[in-house]
Amino acid sequence: MGSREEKIKILFLCTGNACRSQMAEGWARHLKSDVIEAYSAGVWPVGVSSRAVQVMAEAGVDISGHTSKHVHTFLGLDFDFVITLCDHAKKECPVFGGNAKLIHKPFNDPISATGTSEEVLNAFRTTRDEIRAFIETLPESIITQTEAT
C-alpha cells in the first residue's frame, strides 16, 4: 500500500440488520472500498431482506451473500466510526472501546412500507438512493462532523 493510510473501519448499525445497514455496507464496499472497510450489524438481527437484495441488484450492487449479524459479534473490533441508521439502534448501541466515534444518521425503514408490491419496492429504492448519497460523502463528511464537536 505504500504511504497510503489504513482504511477507515466503519460499522453500520440498525435494528434488524435486514435492510438499511446492509445497503450501507453494500454501498460502502461498492463505492469506497479503497478507503473504507465496511461492516454491518443489528441490535436484533432478523435476516437480510429479499427486497433489499433486489433493489441493490437493480443498482448494480450484489448483497445476496450478506448475512444478518448481531452487533455483539463486533464488540472486539476497533472501529473508527459506528454509524447508527435508526433511533432504536442509537438507543441500544453498546459502547465500543478504542477510538470509535458514534455518528447518528437515521433513514426511514422501508421494511414498514405498505401498499402495492411496486409501492413497497419504491420505498426500498428511495432508502437505497438516500443511503447511496450519504455513502458518497464518506469518509470526509463524518470526519468533518466529528472534528466540529
Provide φ and ψ at 87, rounded to 5°: -65, -40
Q: What type of residue sits at position 142?
A: I
Tell me which of 11, 13, 52, 86 is the catalytic residue: 86
Cβ-proximal residues to 36 (8 Å cutoff; 6+ apart), any chain: 7, 8, 9, 10, 28, 29, 138, 139
93: annotated active-site residue: yes
19: annotated active-site residue: no
Tell me which of 11, 14, 19, 41 is the catalytic residue: 14
Half-sphere exposure of residue 22: CA atoms within 13 angstroms, side-chain side: 32
Tell me which of 31, 93, 113, 120 is the catalytic residue: 93
Q: How far is CA 39 from the centre of its chain?
A: 7
Residues annotated as part of the active site: 14, 86, 93
